[in-house]
Amino acid sequence: MQETRQNKIARLLQKELSLIFQEQTRAMHGVMVSVTRTKISPDLSICTAYLSIFPSERAEELIKNITRNEKQLRYELGTRIRYQMRIVPELRFFIDDSLDYIDRIDELLKK
């Protein structure tokens, strides 16, 4: 169970990562990346971010690209949160496929 401070920091990181992805995907027409959920470790050193990527066919390709540029993203995040946090957490990215799962369930229920 996450503590209050962890929840506040997770929301801050989610907001800032969302803004970073929004700026970076403006150049890529037809692609949308949103941060659906973030979790932070109890010692605030590791941030796990779940990304929802549209279109979902390009999700694997974009996650690989994001993990390759993880250092640049961490630096950008550090410049944005430098007054709120002393140490910028290590970033880990995963695909949030809950929307695809919901669509699949809808298809099965319609049959």
- pLDDT tens-digit series, residues 99-110: 777 878 888 888
Q: What is the pTM of this model?
A: 0.84
- Give CA separation, 50 vs 39, 106, 111, in Å: 9, 22, 30
Which conformational region is residue 74 in: left (phi greater than 0), alpha (psi within -120 to 50 degrees), or beta?
alpha
Q: Which tens digit of pLDDT belongs to each residue from 71-89?
A: 999 999 999 999 999 999 9
